[in-house]
Amino acid sequence: MNALDPLSVRVARLNAALASASPAAVIEKAVEALPADRLAIVSSFGTESAVLLKYVADVDPALPVLFLDTGMLFEETLDYRDRLVDVFGLTDVRSLTPQFELLERRDPARDLWLRDSESCCHIRKVRPLSDALGGFDGWINGRKRFQGEARARIAHVESDGRLLKFNPLASLTRKDIEKVFEAEGLPRHPLEKLGFSSVGCMPCTSRTREGEAPRAGRWRESGRTECGIHRIGLPAGAGCGC
């Protein structure tokens, strides 16, 4: 594959080659397709994150892992991050935090989530990740089609502004995820046993009721299911207009 080909051509060729690929094969192809140190993993260290990180560690535990530390996460998530780093021997986990000046100006009382959750996510998640991805040519995330909504038709590879975005777990089912947890003896997020199927920031995360979609507890009753970091076409390093 020629790195000088248009991004759309590269995406089409990669998807053709990875149509029935395993998660490990997708990650290996991502490493092969991009120059050294130009590929990042983005992980929330949420309820299913151990599966992606297991496959990443099998390929290369030194790949940089970007973690959005919003300042509003559950303590259980921070503890789980530390545990997974140790379990998988990850050597380059980078915590991304919101700009202090921006928080002071837009959210001094830490209640922006209540008034405008989308702006809160932009300040605490989208902006820090967008800025960080300016130093990379591609990134890997853990979305799956079974999570529904905007994720139902994701391919193994997408374009995201100038970046390649890889979805190694896209075709896995919920049963597949469970099988990996069981077969590998992976540790579970502490909040999962309390009814949280998807975990984000504390104010905007609630338990999932029986029969609900996996992400129904995120921004409940707001009409939202995404924080904004997966909007295709977001330019790396772009400002959020805050």
Closest C-alpha among 77, 206, 232 to residue 215: 206
Is the C-alpha dihedral spanning 222, 226, 231, 236 positive or negative?
Answer: positive
The answer for residues whose C-beta is within 8 angstroms of residue 215's C-beta and 6 or more apart is: 147, 148, 149, 197, 198, 225
CA-nearest of 189, 200, 45 to 117 is 200
Strands in 138-140's sheet, in edge-to-edge order, are 93-96, 65-68, 39-42, 138-140, 163-166, 157-160
Euclidean distance between CA atoms 242 and 232, whole angstroms: 20
Sign of the alpha-carbon dihedral angle for 204, 157, 61, 89 = positive
Q: Among 136, 160, 151, which residue's Cα sits nearest to residue 232?
A: 160
User: What is d(CA 27, CA 30) in angstroms, rounded to the nearest whole number?
Assistant: 5
Which residues are annotated as catalytic?
A: 227
Find residue 158's DSSP bridge partners: 165
**Pairing status of strand 65-68 against strand 39-42:** parallel
